[in-house]
Chain A
Amino acid sequence: NAGVTQTPKFRVLKTGQSMTLLCAQDMNHEYMYWYRQDPGMGLRLIHYSVGEGTTAKGEVPDGYNVSRLKKQNFLLGLESAAPSQTSVYFCASTPAGARNTQYFGPGTRLTVL
């Protein structure tokens, strides 16, 4: 099993450009999440999905959109990138249930100039 994979690993954007980050998991997990990690702030939840075709906002959703058309994939979109979105983005997945471990991808390092 590959676990959770993320593409791309690195990306540099100019302000106003758009891009999509792809997360894929091969563990048949129900729940998937997108987090951003910034120094001194831990991980903050951007959006999450509790199943195919359903998404919901996390604590920092502004400027991002998501889609989960297939159970194994969770896409994060930036329609018009801003320097404040410079961050490391992590995708995670877990089986349904609050006691379950989250499995993280390796991260995408995004710089917006």
Chain B
Amino acid sequence: AQSVTQLGSHVSVSEGALVLLRCNYSSSVPPYLFWYVQYPNQGLQLLLKYTTGATLVKGINGFEAEFKKSETSFHLTKPSAHMSDAAEYFCAVSLSGGYQKVTFGTGTKLQVIP
């Protein structure tokens, strides 16, 4: 079984400030981890993912995330927020082997203040 916890349903940052969105997971086997972004009135699209190999993963739009097994975390960061980053962000986990059952977190809405 797997689960995902996203801390903070709403996060506000000033334009140019660091963005940090938190995600913790639990799984019984090594997980695959994803961050998706949803802009208003759109479907979700992939920001980045961790499968194997390097634990620091870079994605689109300057975002990156680090897989920390000891902390069971996969936090999303961006050094400098842009107004266009305002969206809802979802962390997700799936397990290796067989059918891909993905479990999504409840989402974090990012507000960027000018």
The answer on a CB contact under 8 Å between A50 and B43 is: no
**Using a CB-CB cutoff of 8 Å, which residues 85-103 of chain B contact chain A?**
90, 94-102
The answer on a CB contact under 8 Å between A107 and B42 is: yes
The answer on a CB contact under 8 Å between B104 and A50 is: no
A41 to B88, CA, bound (A): 13
CB within 8 Å for A106 and B90 given contacts A100-B100, A101-B49 = no
Does A43 have its Cβ within 8 Å of any Cβ on chain B? yes
Partner of A107, one of B32, B43, B101: B43
How many A-B pairs fall under 8 Å by CB? 59
Number of B residues with CB within 8 Å of any CB on chain A: 26
CB within 8 Å for A104 and B44 given contacts A42-B105, A42-B106, A43-B90 = yes
Interface residues on A, range: 20 to 34
Give chain A residues whose Cβ lies under 8 Å from the Cβ of B99: 31, 48, 50, 98
A31 to B94, CA, bound (A): 14
